[in-house]
Amino acid sequence: MKIFFMNWNSYGNIDFLDALEHLSENGSAPEVIKYPFQNTEKRDDPEFESRFSSDLQKEVPDFVFSFNYYPLISKVCEKEGVKYVSWVYDSPHISLYSYTLINKCNYVFLFDSQMYEAFAAQGIRTVHYLPLAASVRRLDEVKMTPEIRQKYAAPVSFVGAMYTEAHNFYDRMEPQLDEYTKGYLQGLMAAQMQIDGMNFVEKCITPEVLEHMLQAYPMMPNADGVETSAYMYAQYMLNRRITSLERTQLIRQIGEKYPVKLYTKDQKYTAPGVTNMGQIDYYDTMPYVFKCTDINLNITLRSIQRGIPLRAMDIMGCGGFLLTNYQEDLLQLFTPGEDFVYYESRQDLLDKIGYYLEHEDERCRVAESAHRKVAADHTYDIRIRQMLDVIMA
């Protein structure tokens, strides 16, 4: 088996390639060609297309693989009759709305069951549901020392973006809005923040509100796609803003009662009881945080409607204790109270932090159960076999 691995700076690269190496030990012996690729939103690139076509003809791989979906790759693979396999971990991922999604060469694996069902309901047969994974083999090999445990120990930690960067989409638009539209959007976002498990933002963008948003900050769909302007505003602007408000407010409230370590690229964020540790490396440092923290938070980006974020998989794969907002796919693969714990409100979040900080034995049992389950059912080795079952069928 020969695989073209589209090599861009993606989460999961090292773990996916490691799993392919272990797959070869079981007799499948894949030959992996790391193909240089720029993470680009280009839909047309004649120079790349010509070079890529020639290389496909020369090497004749069994399939091309990339993390996330790229219409540019699909277009060439369709032309050359080569299977294109992609595993999407981003949400939103506007490239999925390209007309190329229906190309017969495609095998597009989506980590969010809601995202999968939305496309499958339209009769699109090139999409498949596949949750994300954790490299338990790598995470178990992480060397722990007393110095490391002391450095990263914390009652509560959160690793992730705060989406408070200057000049984000919403902040650029808001000053240009009329008072009615501004108030409507503020009310809509406040309402969505009270609800987990269902996202109604896009459905609540009325034609009138959409028109005012378009005038204030134009966002136009791609010419070769079927995404709507309402989708773009909901996912790239409003859901991100909601996530920013939610994360900043929740972490501030937790910090008022319990010490919090925050690992984020926004080093300007401050709050009483919160220590901003700055950004950390996914491979080199993040496992230490998850292993040394008593309670690891997951506050999901609001555009991920049901899916299990990579953060949550990594926490459990590290043997860390996961406290998260409600995400439906988590309940399909894991058992709440046994493998993880979810909160239903802000007060419930604070109550559960207090409870599990006081009940170490119970907290450790939950973390150990999750680690066993991820190791048994949700590694990259297992996900690749599941992909191959579909691709080679």
Do residues 337 and 193 share a domain?
yes
Do residues 235 and 148 share a domain?
yes
Rounded Cα distance between 217 and 194, Å, is 27
Do residues 121 and 242 share a domain?
no
Do residues 331 and 362 share a domain?
yes
Q: Tens digit of pLDDT for each residue in 13-34?
A: 999 999 999 987 667 679 999 9
**In this structure, what DSSP letter does residue 217 have?**
S
92 prior amide bond cis, ω within 30: yes
Do residues 181 and 152 share a domain?
yes
Do residues 76 and 170 share a domain?
no
At residue 286, the pLDDT reads 98
At residue 70, the pLDDT reads 97
Please give the residue range of the domain that contains residue 166. 137-377
Do residues 90 and 168 share a domain?
no
* Element holding 365 (H helix, E strand): helix 360-377
Residues in the chain: 393
Q: Is the pLDDT of residue 165 over 70?
A: yes
Q: Is the pLDDT of residue 197 over 90?
A: no
Contacts of 248 (CB under 8 A, 6+ apart): 162, 164, 269, 271
Identify the three-state secondary structure at position 158: strand
Q: Tens digit of pLDDT for each residue in 118-160?
A: 999 999 999 999 999 999 999 999 999 999 999 999 999 999 9
Do residues 129 and 194 share a domain?
no
Q: Is the pLDDT of residue 385 over 90?
A: yes
Rounded Cα distance between 106 and 102, Å, is 7
Q: Tens digit of pLDDT for each residue in 120-131?
A: 999 999 999 999
Rounded Cα distance between 252 and 241, Å, is 17
Do residues 185 and 292 share a domain?
yes
**In this structure, what DSSP letter does residue 238 have?**
I
DSSP per-residue letters across 43-91? S--HHHHHHHHHHHHHH--SEEEEES--HHHHHHHHHHT-EEEEEE--S
Do residues 159 and 177 share a domain?
yes
Do residues 221 and 286 share a domain?
yes
- Structure confidence at residue 168 as a pLDDT band (50, 70, 90): confident
Rounded Cα distance between 257 and 250, Å, is 11
52: nearest Cα among 40, 35, 39: 35
What torsion, rounded to 10 degrees, do the Cα atoms 140, 143, 146, 151 define? -90
Q: What is the mean pLDDT of residues 74-81?
A: 98
69: nearest Cα among 114, 10, 1: 10
Contact criterion met (CB below 8 Å) for 209 and 85: no
- The CATH number of the domain holding residue 76 is 3.40.50.2000
Do residues 236 and 322 share a domain?
yes
Q: How many domains does the chain have?
A: 2
Phi first, then psi: give them for residue 331, nearest 5 degrees. Answer: -75, -15
